[in-house]
Amino acid sequence: MSDVTAAERELLRAHARAERGRRRNAFLLVAPLFVFLIFTFLVPIGDMLRRSFIDSDVASVWPNVVKVNRAWSGEGEAPAALWPALAADIRASAAADNVAVAARRLNYAVDGGRTLVMKTARRLARTESAPNDDWRAVFLDADEAWGRPATLEALRRASGPVTDFFLLAALDLRKDEHGSVIAVPERDAIYRTVLWRTFSVAGMVTLFTLLLGYPYAYLMTRASKPVEAAMTIFVLLPFWTSLLVRTAAWIVLLQENGVVNSMLVWLGVLDTPMRLIFNRVGVVVAMTHVLLPFMVLPLAAVMKGIRPETVRAARSLGATPFTAFRRIYFPQSLPGVAGGALLVFISAIGYYITPALVGGADDQMLSWFIAFFVNDTINWGLAAALGVVLLVCTTVLSIVYAKIVAGRQAG
């Protein structure tokens, strides 16, 4: 009896040893890629996402103010210690030439915040000491905005270490001085419009790639081998053309005295040339062209698996060609439709260069604003928050897709 268990134990040990070796080898094989991904993908993305809720601009230049503010709950009057701290910090940062960092941060939350800080800094440069150490009076004398609770509340909130300011701003929301979430004024609201525009352009592009790609993919799967290869190359052509060449071609084709307009006028469809580029039409045409392969290839892959006899069987059982398509062929192609649509949609909501090149001012999508805040205004917090919005949308869509696919396979 004990012999058997000893033998079994030995077997288990040997098995575990073999397993360990196998696992270590598998890990070593993927380790280089894993390290590469950590440093080139996960770390930068994590750092970017961190900036959407970490608020360190003010803290980096006004340490004393931050210390006072973090001790203050925001209830009642601002603590008296705030004013000398603020005076000392502004003076120090002005001397270190980085007062603009805090001024810019305050400007996000308060209208005229930058002017207020810069003006006060100049005033403080001329003021050696405050009478009776009443720095509050000095500030109020410099600008009466310092007396408003909203200004002080904004400064308190900007003191970090974390903030919901950027994420709210990315959805056209902000907190009022009582801490409740409200919509920003109509004239400042822009990101919801941009988000809606991003989704509607992506939706239109998805629809057009589906309408154009479905019959194409169908034909591809029915064609002979050489024809199928030619059709695949044809659909992949946009990948092999430089973006600038493609853009130049679209401009030549779509401009007001371009080929398409001339044709339409000549055919009598239009009386006068229509604007087809540097507007929404141009953006949708160009993106549809580039994203077509992402629709056609998953569709064709699924359609290849559909047995043509099922359609024949439906016909022999009494279905008209349309019914056979609607009830038998199309439902079987749905996983391809879902896969293609999701790929196109997710790629499209992140599009940046194509709309920037062939779109007008009103056609820029969310990514353009991210690039704008990163490159032009250096507002990394808002850029990161917009990135979070995009990432959340993509993740939700992927989960929905995974659920659909899993549901179909289970059913």
Partner 1 sequence: MKAPKNLPTRQSDFATAPTLVTFEKISKTYDGHTHVVKNLDLEIRRGEFLTLLGPSGSGKTTCLMMLAGFEVPTSGEIWHGEVPLSRKPPHERGIGMVFQNYALFPHMSIAENIAFPLEVRGLGRAAIAEKVKRALDMVRLPQIADRRPNQLSGGQQQRVALARALVFEPELVLMDEPLGALDKQLREHMQYEIRSLHMSLGLTVVYVTHDQTEALTMSDRIAVFAGGRIRQLADPRALYEEPADGLVATFVGESNRFDGTIVSRDGDTAVIATRGGTRLEAFAVDIGATGPAAVIVRPENVRIGAAVDGLRDVITGRVVDVVYHGDHLQVHIAAEGLDVVAKQPTRDAEAPTVGSEIRFGFLSRHARAYDPARTDH
Nearer to partner 1, 199 or 329 (CB): 329
Amino acid at 397: L
* Long-range CB contact pairs, 71-78, < 8 A, 24+: 72/156, 74/153, 74/156, 74/179, 78/152, 78/156
Nearer to partner 1, 2 or 409 (CB): 409
Q: Does 404 bind partner 1 (CB under 8 A)?
A: no
CB atoms within 10 A of CB 84: 16
Indicate which single residue of 40, 193, 262, 310 sits in contact with partner 1 (rule: CB under 8 A).
310
Nearer to partner 1, 259 or 313 (CB): 313
| Closest distance to partner 1 from the beta carbon of 331 (Å) | 5
Q: Does 304 bind partner 1 (CB under 8 A)?
A: no
Nearer to partner 1, 155 or 324 (CB): 324
Nearer to partner 1, 241 or 323 (CB): 323
Nearer to partner 1, 115 or 320 (CB): 320
Q: How many residues bind partner 1 (CB under 8 A)?
A: 20
DSSP-based three-state secondary structure for 162: strand
Q: Does 307 bind partner 1 (CB under 8 A)?
A: yes
Phi, psi of 375, deg, nearest 5: -90, -40
Q: Does 315 bind partner 1 (CB under 8 A)?
A: yes
Indicate which single residue of 193, 200, 262, 323 sits in contact with partner 1 (rule: CB under 8 A).
323
Short-list 185, 209, 173, 171, CA closest to 393? 171
Q: Does 37 bind partner 1 (CB under 8 A)?
A: no
DSSP code, position 173:
E
Is 53 in contact with 164 (CB distance < 8 Å)?
yes
* Distance between CA atoms of residues 281 and 273, nearest Å: 14
| Closest distance to partner 1 from the beta carbon of 298 (Å) | 18
Listed ranges 221-229, 250-258, 271-279, 316-324: which one lies at the site for partner 1 (CB under 8 A): 316-324
DSSP-based three-state secondary structure for 182: strand
Nearer to partner 1, 18 or 313 (CB): 313
DSSP code, position 268:
T
Residue 110 CA neighbour count, 13 Å, CB half: 25
Indicate which single residue of 59, 68, 297, 328 sits in contact with partner 1 (rule: CB under 8 A).
328
Residue 346 CA neighbour count, 13 Å, CB half: 19
**Distances from the Cα of 12 to the Cα of 16, 23, 47, angstroms:** 6, 16, 45
Is 165 in contact with 109 (CB distance < 8 Å)?
yes
Q: Does 316 bind partner 1 (CB under 8 A)?
A: yes
| Closest distance to partner 1 from the beta carbon of 328 (Å) | 6
Torsion over CA: 239, 242, 245, 247 (sign): positive
Amino acid at 278: F
Listed ranges 213-221, 267-275, 304-312, 365-373: which one lies at the site for partner 1 (CB under 8 A): 304-312
Indicate which single residue of 319, 391, 397, 404 sits in contact with partner 1 (rule: CB under 8 A).
319
Q: Does 331 bind partner 1 (CB under 8 A)?
A: yes
Which secondary-structure segment (H or E) carries 265? helix 259-267
- Omega within 30 of 0 (cis) for the link into 161: yes
* Distance between CA atoms of residues 337 and 295, nearest Å: 8
Q: Does 309 bind partner 1 (CB under 8 A)?
A: yes
Indicate which single residue of 94, 201, 314, 383 sits in contact with partner 1 (rule: CB under 8 A).
314
Listed ranges 115-123, 315-323, 340-348, 391-399: which one lies at the site for partner 1 (CB under 8 A): 315-323
Q: What residues line the site for partner 1 (CB under 8 A)?
A: 307, 309-310, 312-321, 323-324, 327-328, 331-332, 411
